[in-house]
């Protein structure tokens, strides 16, 4: 009978350990943008001949269940020829898509001269899928449309049109695609999953403790 009880408790403990993977809906995901770099003309530096570049780092959390941003999760920084001061606007369905195709989650970063950077992550099956996203200037599944554009209404002192001129063959507001960087989406464990994991560990610890006490009593 004792062995049966131990077997039952052991099975329950293992079930609790495995439940997080099955129960977690991966409804909230982390989006991490690392060293997303846009290269421009050789017009920067003291001599005006150094390659101009602008790099972005940051990220946010996205709730796939409500298709919305997790409040307070946005964090971005930038450095380069266009400075460090950028505002962030983020939301779903920024670019209109035909019915039946994936929508996008767009991050628009804008500097004080109204020059903007657009990063659009394409959803699959109405969710932001986990995995690496390929930076691109085209729209495909599991790609990130990454573009930097100098505003036609830029402030008079803006160096953006000189530093980042329209590249040959540009097809989106005269924007330049990112040259390098990574964008990754990863699931965030839900609190309930962590609780189940802790319960499983406690159950297994209890089994070990009871077995230890039994052995001491028998001796």
Instruction: Tell me the pLDDT tens digit for each residue of 4-38.
Output: 554 444 444 444 444 443 334 458 999 999 999 99
b/e for 18-30, b at 16 or more Cβ within 10 A?
A: ebbeeebebebbb
Average pLDDT, the chain: 77
Task: Using the structure block, give the residue that is written with the tokens 């960087």.
Answer: 181
b/e for 180-193, b at 16 or more Cβ within 10 A?
A: ebebebebbebeeb
Task: Using the structure block, give the residue that is written with the tokens 């989650």.
Answer: 105
Lowest mean pLDDT among 15-29, 62-76, 125-139: 15-29
Name the most confidently modeled range: 16-25, 84-93, 108-117, 186-195: 108-117
Distance CA 168, CA 61 (A): 35
What pLDDT is recorded for position 161? 86
Task: Using the structure block, give the residue that is written with the tokens 């804008």.
Answer: 110
C-alpha 197, offset from chain centre:
25
DSSP 164: S
Q: Which H or E element spans position 20?
A: helix 2-23
pLDDT grade for 86, boundaries at 50, 70 and 90: very high
Planar angle of CA 91, 93, 96, nearest 5 degrees = 145
């Amino acid at each position: 009978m004792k062995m049966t009880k131990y077997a039952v408790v052991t099975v329950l403990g293992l079930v609790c350990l495995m439940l997080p993977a099955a129960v977690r809906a991966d409804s909230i995901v982390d989006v991490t943008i690392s060293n997303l770099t846009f290269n421009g003309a050789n017009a920067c530096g003291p001599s005006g001949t150094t390659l101009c570049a602008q790099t972005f780092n940051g990220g946010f959390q996205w709730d796939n269940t409500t298709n919305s941003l997790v409040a307070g999760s946005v964090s971005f920084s930038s450095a380069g020829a266009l400075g460090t001061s950028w505002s962030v606007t983020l939301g779903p369905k920024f670019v209109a898509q035909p019915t039946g195709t994936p929508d996008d989650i767009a991050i628009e970063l804008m500097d004080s001269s109204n020059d903007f950077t657009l990063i659009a992550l394409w959803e699959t099956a109405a969710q932001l899928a986990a995995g690496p996203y390929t930076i691109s200037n085209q729209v495909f599944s599991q790609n990130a449309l990454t573009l930097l554009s100098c505003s036609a209404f830029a402030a008079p002192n803006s160096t953006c049109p000189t530093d980042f001129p329209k590249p040959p063959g540009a097809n989106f507001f005269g924007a330049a695609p990112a040259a390098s960087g990574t964008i990754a989406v990863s699931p965030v464990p839900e609190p309930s999953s962590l609780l189940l994991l802790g319960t499983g560990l406690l159950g297994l610890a209890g089994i070990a403790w009871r077995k230890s006490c039994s052995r001491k009593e028998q001796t």
